[in-house]
Amino acid sequence: MSSYDVQQVRADFPVLQREVRDKPLVYLDSGATSQKPASVIDAERTYYEQHNAAVHRGAHQLSEEATDAFEAAREKVATFVGARPEDIVFTKNATESINLVAYGLSNASAPGALDGVPSEVAERLRIGAGDEIVVTEMEHHANLVPWQELCRRTGATLRWFPVTDGGELDLSDLDTLVNERTKVVAFSHVSNVVGTINPVAPLVAAARRVGAITVLDACQSVPHLPVSVTELGVDFMAFSGHKMLGPTGVGVLWGRAELLAALPPFITGGSMIEQVFMDHTTYAAPPQRFEAGSPNVAQAVGLGAAVDYLSKLGMDAVREHDKVLVQAALDGLAKRPWVRVLGPTDVEKRCGAVAFVVDGVHPHDVGQILDDSGIAVRTGHHCAWPLHRALKVPASTRASFAAYSTVEEVEAFLTALDRVPEVFGVEVA
């Protein structure tokens, strides 16, 4: 840890110099969206000032430069998660990435959509009545609602793993829930609320046994942990640029080559076609097939710079730093008996975020008190309403971290939190 100089990291993030309500900004809402280092902001700017043009199509110099910048970004992102560039699709956010898979699967049932696909692969992609999609109660809405809608479109049935009171996945019914009817098992790598790091291996193994496709929501793991698609063994993985120091407006879908190759397109239009006639169209190979229209080139380039930045820090070091922050938050909150922390207590089992409730005070009011001290946290259901229901709380307050967060910030947060019982007259003993 001694080599990780967080003050030096902070110097790279212009917004961290800001004051809020005359106090220095303490940004503990990185789980919602992270801040951006100057190198990311500059990468987008340089792209616009020097190279901006349509990619993949121009017969001119600028267009070649833009294409090179875009494809170089794809290579960087691929390397970052241990993937091949051809298997990386740029989307607008992780939500689109997951919808891409869900719509690709329902489109697979349209007439002719799987022509030419090997029958064993086609069989895995076809979903209808009687089939089952399995998710978990812990999911962000982005990895739940698209599957509900896929079920609505196809007649398949949604099933889910429950969550324990301790905020972990309850896998005791694994072999019942994942069965021969299961076509998809979709789950998050790390919970965006309770920070739980879920066990990927048993879920992948169970899905493999029945030939189900695994879809991993890696939004909260990729920014905090070393992540490799080959090690994880999943079939699809979605994550968002804006949560990993990258720009808004860019997400990523990685897919296993044989499945990507077979998956029908989602959004259709220019740049994803092979040949177009008035009455039919043939489609390009991945990743182009899934990148219809003019892509988010500047944002992809920015994400490439973010990945460079994280790689320079080293994801192992980022993970170690995160542990220190989470531990400091857990320790500080444990000293306040009027606070109830959600999720695992062991820092090895969690990362990125700490959510809690103050009984008798609504999280909105907790957040407001913190904001008054310049401390930015998030309150509410954090797009994980069913998880809150499972944990029997209406909502929660969440402090979440990134590579630039400091223990001092955690302490400032804890100190400000002490005003909550004061203002709302809560018993502190």
Partner 1 sequence: MDLYQQLILDHSKRPQHAGLREPFEGEAHHVNTTCGDEVTVRVHVDGDEVKDVSYDAQGCSISVASASILAEEVIGFSVEESLSTYEAMRAMLTSKGQDPGDEEVIGDGVALAGVAKYPARVKCALLPWAAYTDALVRAGVDISTVGGQR
Ligand X SMILES: Cc1ncc(COP(=O)(O)O)c(C=O)c1O
Residues that bind ligand X (CB under 6 A): 93-95, 140, 142-143, 188, 192, 217, 219-220, 240, 242, 251, 270, 293-294, 383
Region binding a second copy by CB under 8 A among candidate stretches 76-84, 246-254, 334-342, 409-417 = 246-254
The three-state secondary structure class of 188 is: strand
Asked whether position 72 contacts a second copy by CB under 8 A, the answer is: no
Summarize the chain as % helix, strand, coil (round to 5): 45, 20, 40
Asked whether position 399 contacts partner 1 by CB under 8 A, the answer is: no
Q: In this complex, which beta carbon is closest to partner 1, that of residue 18 or of residue 389?
A: 389
Q: x-or-dash pattern for partner 1, window 229-268, by CB under 8 A?
A: ----------------------------------------
Instruction: Based on the residue annotation, tell me whether 383 is a catalytic residue of this protein.
Output: yes
Single out the residue of 179, 203, 176, 178 nearest to residue 189, CA to CA: 203
Residue type, 63: S
DSSP assignment, residue 47? Answer: I
Residues 260-319 that bind a second copy (CB under 8 A): 265, 267-271, 273, 275-281, 292-299
Tokens of residue 73, six digits: 């970004």
CB of 193 vs partner 1, minimal distance in Å:
13
Q: x-or-dash pattern for a second copy, window 146-165, by CB under 8 A?
A: x-xx--xx----x-x-----
Residue 188 interacting entry, from a second copy, partner 1, ligand X, none, C-beta within 5 to 8 Å by type: ligand X
Residues 316-375 that bind partner 1 (CB under 8 A): 361-365, 368-369, 372
CB 247 within 8 A of CB 48: no
Residue 7 CA to residue 356 CA, distance in Å, equals 28
Asked whether position 63 contacts partner 1 by CB under 8 A, the answer is: yes
Residue 274 interacting entry, from a second copy, ligand X, partner 1, none, C-beta within 5 to 8 Å by type: partner 1
Q: x-or-dash pattern for a second copy, window 98-137, by CB under 8 A?
A: xx---x---x--xxxx-----------------------x
Interior angle at CA 185, CA 244 and CA 80, nearest 5: 25
Residue 56 interacting entry, from partner 1, a second copy, ligand X, none, C-beta within 5 to 8 Å by type: partner 1
DSSP assignment, residue 350? Answer: B
Q: In this complex, which beta carbon is closest to partner 1, that of residue 182 or of residue 396?
A: 396
Report the Cα 372 to chain-centroid distance in Å: 29
CB of 100 vs ligand X, minimal distance in Å:
12
Q: How far is CA 68 from CA 57, 71, 292, 298, in A?
A: 12, 5, 18, 12
The three-state secondary structure class of 252 is: strand
CB 249 within 8 A of CB 270: no
Residue 261 CA to residue 224 CA, distance in Å, equals 30
Q: Indicate which residues carry an active-site annotation.
A: 383
